Every structure is written in C-alpha cells, then in structure tokens.
Amino acid sequence: MTEFIDSEEVLCGKYTELFELFGRSKNVVFFTGAGISTAANIPDFRGDKGLDKAPINIAQMGASERDLDSKMPTFGHRAISVLLERDSRFKFLATSNHDGLHQKSGTPWEKSANIFGTAYIEECLACRTQYTRKVIVPALHRKCDNTDCNGKMKKTGVRYGQTVPVGPLRLAEEAAKAADLVLVLGSSMTTSPFCNLPSLSDNYVICNRQTTPYDKGAKICIHDNVDNFMTRLLHETLPYANLDLEYRQEFVIKESDSYIIITTPQHNEPAVFIDTAIARNSAGHSRSFECSLLGVFSLPRESVEDGSEVEVEFKEGFEVENVKVVYKAGEVNCGALVKHLQF
C-alpha cells in the first residue's frame, strides 16, 4: 500500500476533530507500531521502503539488532514519555516494537507493554526470572545472573509466527478495554494480536501514512508522520514542555583475576557500545584491549601500569567523542558514554 500524507487543509480539519474528542477523554492509551521508529532510521515492514520490499537474512537481522544500541529515540517517543509522566489523562503505552526506544526516551516499564517482547529483556529458561538489560547482549553463551541457577538465557523478543508473551498481551488488553480513547501511531494494523487490541476501546484514532484494515471502525484516520502528530498533540496539551534528555551508558575498568577488564556496572552485561580501548602508559607506549565474543574487553594485568590512560572509542552511530579514564590499580575506575538529546 502506497504511503501518502493528507493535505494541510484536510489535516487541520482532522486535528480539530481529534482535539475535540481528546477534550472529552480521561483515559488515553497509545499503541505504537514500527512507523514511530522510522525517523530513527529503523525501517518498518510494510512502508514504501519497508523490509518486505527487500527481505534480509538471519545474519543481517542479528547485525541490525546489534545496531539498536546506537539508535536514539525520536521526538514521538520522547513526547509520549513526557505525556505519560506529566499529564494524568495519558495512562499507558503498548507497542509492537522490539527496539527499546520507548524505554530509552524515559517511558517506565510499568506504564508500557512490549507485546512482542523486546531485545532488552532476557529470561532464564530454568528459573524463568526476567532481567532488563541496558544493552543488546550477545545471544550465545548467556547464563542466569543467579549463580545458584546458572540456567541458559533467552531474549524475550519474538519473531513472526511465534507465541507472544502472555503478560504484556494481558496488560495491553486491559489498558485498551479501560481506555476511552486509543491513539494508534505508525502501524499498518496487519499483525495479530496487536491489530485486534485498539478496537477493544469504543474510540480509537489511527495515525499512519497508509490505509489500514481497521480504518472503517476508527473515529478518525489521520494520514501524517507520527512526529508531526505528536508535535500537534503536545502543543495542545503541554505546549511549553522541555523534552531534552540525556542518554548515558556507564562502564568500569577493573581488575578481574589476572586481567584488567572493561565491562558495565550491571551484572552480566558486556560493554557492547565500545568499539576500541587503548591503554597508554607514562612513557607513551600503548596497547589495545582485546574484545571477547561475549563483548568483554581485557588486557593482562601486567600490561597496564598504575596511572595509565585508557582511551575508549564508542561504536559508529553514537556520534560522541572518545572518553579517557586514568586507571588506578586496585580501584573500580568509572567512565561513561553521554549523549545529550535535544528535541
């Protein structure tokens, strides 16, 4: 289905109608699809440049997933986060996306449901404990954080044809039934069970650049970019809101057995956002850290002098400057990737 945007005259009429409907609403729920993330250079599936136009293989899908760490939330993601935080009429968010951009934008897990799971949550297959990660961890050789269990870990994100997680689906259903207005953003509404949920509310509005099978039952169908939709909605509700955000990934340089390693402060999370790390001593001699398949950077302890400068370069896509940390023996030396997001 070809994408299009309504004329400005048509949009003005539809947004006026939307805000009249919104003015009568006290329980508003967002449902977001892949279209909210295209502005972050994450392709959707059925858009004009969607993945169904040029299918990728499994290896490419794995590489694309690893790239998610460097993808930053869009204006739409951040605006939803701010509305959920500051306007009591907005209650909940349900998404079909794996990319974790809603959480990066500040949306708390307890106010959201990832219907098809997420690349940032692992579940232990033995004890069934779930762990929320700040990075995309390697898929292989992952063990439970509980050393008494030591079970194998599996990411919760599901592919087409796989069974969706029961918990998030139940939360999304309950939120849709309780809502007096559901806003569907950036979804072609063709993937079950996501597409069946918004119509559980008596009033749902669709914003998408294509027609959908559920347009007939919608109160309003707005053909527009998600960011433009959220710009207008935010202007109507919180016109002076500051959306600026700091994205931060911390790392530590410390001793581990006979090695100096670089990892994250979180247990069992590798510093996969780091591209290279080089230690330089007072004489100017340098040596590069080696990175294991699990994403842990290391050097033999005797290779790093006390007081050496460790320069860390981050992976392409983050677009931040290198960070230098002075290594002090016997201490946990801290550094961080910091990116300031302005909207």
Task: Give the number of residues written for the chain.
Answer: 343
Burial code (b: 16+ CB inside 10 Å, e: under 16) for 79-101 equals: bbbbbbeeeeebbbbbbbbbbbb
Instruction: Average pLDDT across each block of 10 residues of the chain; the chain has 343 residues. List them in order.
Output: 94 98 97 95 64 46 70 97 97 95 95 93 94 86 91 85 88 98 97 96 97 97 98 95 96 94 88 95 94 90 94 95 96 96 94
CB 5 within 8 A of CB 47: no
The bridge status of strand 323-326 relative to strand 309-314 is antiparallel
Residue 170, Cβ neighbours under 10 Å: how many? 11
Q: What is the pLDDT of residue 138?
A: 79
Q: Is 112 helix (H, G, I), strand (E, B) or coil?
A: strand
Q: What is the pLDDT of residue 123?
A: 92
Alpha-carbon distance 5 to 249, whole Å?
A: 37
Query: Any residues with CB less than 8 A from the CB of 321 and at least 6 apart, and which?
Result: none
Alpha-carbon distance 257 to 117, whole Å?
A: 36
Residue 26, Cβ neighbours under 10 Å: how many? 10
Q: Which residue has the tokens 């559920």?
A: 214
Alpha-carbon distance 228 to 39, whole Å?
A: 11
Query: Any residues with CB less than 8 A from the CB of 289 and at least 6 apart, and which?
Result: 260, 262, 276, 277, 278, 279, 297, 298, 299, 310
User: Pick from 30, 15, 25: which is nearest to 77 by CA?
Assistant: 30
Q: What is the pLDDT of residue 246?
A: 96
Alpha-carbon distance 100 to 36, whole Å?
A: 12
Q: What is the pLDDT of residue 50?
A: 43
Global confidence as pTM? 0.91
Alpha-carbon distance 304 to 289, whole Å?
A: 10
Q: What is the pLDDT of residue 156?
A: 86
User: Pick from 75, 11, 83: which is nearest to 39 by CA?
Assistant: 75
- What is the edge-to-edge ordering of all strands in the sheet holding 309-314? 286-288, 274-280, 309-314, 323-326
CB 95 within 8 A of CB 113: yes
Angle at 134 between CA 87 and CA 269, to 5 degrees: 160
| 78 sits in which H/E element | helix 75-86
